Amino acid sequence: MKKLKLGVIGVGGIAQNRHIPAFKKLDHLVEIIGVQDINYELSEKVASEFNITNVFEEYNEMFKQVDAVVICTPNKFHAEISIAALNAGVHVFCEKPMAMNRKECDAMIEAANRSGKLLAIGYHYRFTDAAITAHRAIEEGVVGDALVTRVQALRRRKVPGWGVFTNKELQGGGSLIDYGCHLLDLAMWLQKDAQPVEVLGKTYNRLSKTPNQINDWGTFDYETFEVDDHVSSFITFEDGSTMQFECSWSANIKDDKIHLSMSGVDGGLNVYPFEIYQPRFGTFFNEQAYAEHNEDNAAQRQSLNFVNSCLGLEDLVVKPEEARRVSSLIDAIYQSSEEGRSVRIES
């Protein structure tokens, strides 16, 4: 079988620690032929470390030599590079979030449709055992019609003190667009066809703008901190169901917390840890199963899904239209907070 020729654009931490190692493990299916980054010296270092042959000065130089690219740049450049690659007839895997906003997502999808090439988005939480088990349980009717979904993606003191994570111009936001988006995507995936219609949101950054903060993930300048470090929101769906959503980089809580649960007409489900709650035989059943949240395994499965989809062997797990819906919700939460009112979402 002919190997998929792959290029990597942006070789910072997420490329070095997740994507390049994951695709390297699929060397029977894919060959990473080159890398490109605005920091050419870093590109050379990464190419040498991972035994990659080519280093490109400009990302469009690699398009004629690859079948697909992996985009790991700051969010501001996701749409620009994805569209350029798709227009050149190249499949695209783009790190999350899909883009800075819904409008950019629309342009990316239009380019993918025109080119006939694949556009995948890196929401790897879907590929964990916990998420897969929850999805199967919901498909089999454990929850029934969903009523309330509760989501928390909370870190106690983990503002990323490296890269450009706190730069609003390059990233578009903070804890929501960087971290909360993972749980938001997962919750929407588990809710299947639920259509959000109204969002009430509030963002905060007072904690990170206070001097002398304790932070477990490096240092940052509190005086120039300009993105959200904590977000809460309430989302209403067309079918009348609701979602309570909260995320944070920096919260005064006991421990980091990741939570996703659903309460429905026929039962309830908790993802972390995986549990099912159902009334049966005149009593209430609580069932548990071992289904871990291993992000390394998830990254490997995600890479395999992209490669096999490019080779025509399976379908993408994360569709670009689904990732666009997440970006629409992020837009609405930010808009709601800025305007101090609930925001209606157009279908």
The secondary structure of 212-272, three-state, reads CCCCCCCCCCCCCCCCCCEEEEEEEECCCCEEEEEEECECCCCCCEEEEEEEECCCEEECC
Of the pLDDT bands very low, low, confident and very high (cuts 50, 70, 90), residue 1 is: low
**Cα 197 to Cα 199: distance, rounded to the nearest angstrom:** 7
Phi-psi region of 302 (alpha: psi -120 to 50; beta: other; left: phi over 0): alpha
Angle (CA) 178 184 190, round 5°: 145
| Residue 330 token pair | 């992020």
Rounded to two decimals, the pTM is 0.96
> Once rounded to an integer, what is the mean pLDDT over residues 132-150?
97
- How do residues 236-268 score in pLDDT, each as one tens digit? 999 999 999 999 999 999 999 999 999 999 999
Mean pLDDT, the chain, whole residue set: 97
Q: Above 80 in pLDDT, residue 123?
A: yes
Please tell me the distance from the alpha carbon of residue 235 to that of residue 231, in angstroms, as a whole number.
13
pLDDT confidence of residue 2 = 85
